[in-house]
Amino acid sequence: MIRQWNGIMPLVIEEAERPEQYDAGAGLFKEYAVFLGFDLEFQGFTDELENLPSMYGPPNGFLLLAKMEETYVGCVALRPIAPGMGEMKRMYVLKPYQGKGIGKALTEAFLTRAASLAYQAVRLDSVARLGSALRLYKDCGFKEIEPYCFNPYPDVVFMEYRFPPPIPSQSSMENPWLHIPASDYEGHMALPEVNQLSFLEEVFKQSLGACNSRSVACLGCSTGNGFRHIRRESTEVLDAIDINPEYLKILQQRYTDTLPCLRTIEADLNTFENHGQKYSLIFAGLIFEYLSPDPLLKKISKWLEDEGQMVAVLQLHDEYIKKVSETPYDSLKQLAPHMHLISEEKFRIMAEENGLKEMTGKIRELKSGKKFYIGIFGKKGYIF
């Protein structure tokens, strides 16, 4: 959910997940069809209205809804049409709310979300009489192209937006964690009003006790928070993986003598492959907020032993609570734009599509008001 402002009242952009949100989208789609003034059955519009979650849902699509107070006032959707290529559909703002910047907010949110799904380009078709919409698309970077699909009406305009090629993932320009000193990270996470350092340590300790900890991978291990609870007599493999070399150096200094099984791996999880190592436990605490969940879940499913478990910790969205708590550490203030929070429902769906089934899940609320999902996932037959 993305919170915007139009200067008068708050505008909230939601990504549809629940049936009532898809129902609201269907209502806006119908309003859109009336607004256009021509028949959309050549696109299978009736079937589309009956199948919005499958057409515009995870893992490769979405439906965004603009909401003012308690009223849904606009929408836009994305569906895949070819590998790496998506299509923008049903961009519409109710007439009383047009001219307030809602269309721009929806378009910007659409492009941001499409980029997070690794699309290389998105296309759309519109009509020449919708001049303000076409100007908006051009202002946002869309360019006119040759027709890419059938449309029987005259004066149809076809457009495409191409995303810039990604910066190499090891670049410090891309990953903000390369700019956050260990002292800032630990200082911020230990603040009484944040209290996430002790929270994550508690979850890690419980995971070690409840799961088979013979071979452990800690993804985004930072400086080794919670590693003091690892028992050297029962853990044979301990891979600590992080992109920040300073964090790993500190971790080595703290634990090399007491944990001979420790192996530190400097890597970007977007590109990392473990070359056949299997784990009985993979701990992934607060990392899916900064990575595309679907590709990483696919890797984790391969890395787990047949009866291995993954423990995932996710920060949940709350429109009234900042993603990053107030902090005196300037380096932490850059994180919010890089965070993409997903719901536990969507995470479960993505995990199951990659062969990981939730065994148990719970929500934990800290004193700050932030809520976190803790999920235990297994490949087969494991009950937590």
DSSP 17: -
Can you give the pLDDT of all 384 residues of the chain as single tens digits? 444 444 445 788 999 999 999 999 999 999 999 998 888 888 888 899 999 999 999 999 999 999 998 899 999 999 999 999 999 999 999 999 999 889 999 999 999 899 889 899 999 999 999 999 999 999 999 999 999 998 888 899 999 999 876 544 433 345 789 999 999 999 999 999 999 999 999 999 999 999 999 999 999 999 999 999 999 899 999 999 999 999 999 999 999 999 999 999 999 998 888 777 899 999 999 999 998 899 999 999 999 999 999 999 999 998 888 899 999 999 998 888 888 898 999 999 999 999 999 999 999 999 999 999 999 999 855 444
Residue 120 and residue 50 share a domain? yes
CATH number of the domain where residue 327 is located: 3.40.50.150
DSSP 165: P
Residue 237 and residue 128 share a domain? no
SS3 215: strand
Compute the distance between CA of residue 88 and CA of residue 123 in angstroms, rounded to an integer: 6
Task: Print the domain residue range for 124.
Answer: 2-162
Contacting residues for 382 by C-beta, under 8 A, at least 6 apart: 307, 309, 359
pLDDT at 168: 44
Other C-beta atoms within 10 Å of 175: how many? 19
CATH number of the domain where residue 113 is located: 3.40.630.30
Residue 351 and residue 208 share a domain? yes
Q: Give the largest Cα separation in the chain, rounded.
A: 75
Count of domains observed in the chain? 2
Burial (Cβ within 10 Å: 0-12, 13-18, ≥19) of residue 278: middle
pLDDT at 292: 87
Which of 162, 189, 217 is the last residue in one of the domains?
A: 162
Compute the distance between CA of residue 129 and CA of residue 148 in angstroms, rounded to an integer: 20
pLDDT at 19: 95
Residue 198 and residue 131 share a domain? no
Nearest to 180 by CA among 116, 250, 228: 250
For 85-214, strand residue ranges (E) read 85-93, 121-127, 143-144, 156-162
Compute the distance between CA of residue 341 and CA of residue 15 in angstroms, rounded to an integer: 11
Sheet holding 10-15, edge to edge: 2-5, 10-15, 62-68, 71-82, 85-93, 121-127, 156-162, 143-144
Nearest to 124 by CA among 113, 137, 115: 137
Angle in degrees, 0-180, between the axes of helices 182-189 and 196-210, rounded to the nearest 10? 90
Tokens of 165: 């090629």
pLDDT at 320: 83
DSSP 316: P
Residue 227 and residue 328 share a domain? yes
Compute the distance between CA of residue 75 and CA of residue 87 in angstroms, rounded to an integer: 14
Peptide bond into 59 cis (omega under 30): yes
pLDDT at 193: 92
Which of 136, 162, 188 is the last residue in one of the domains?
A: 162
Q: Which helix (H) or strand (E) holds 182?
A: helix 182-189
pLDDT at 12: 87
Residue 242 and residue 207 share a domain? yes
DSSP 227: G
CB 127 within 8 A of CB 156: yes
Residue 218 and residue 118 share a domain? no
pLDDT at 8: 44
pLDDT at 171: 37
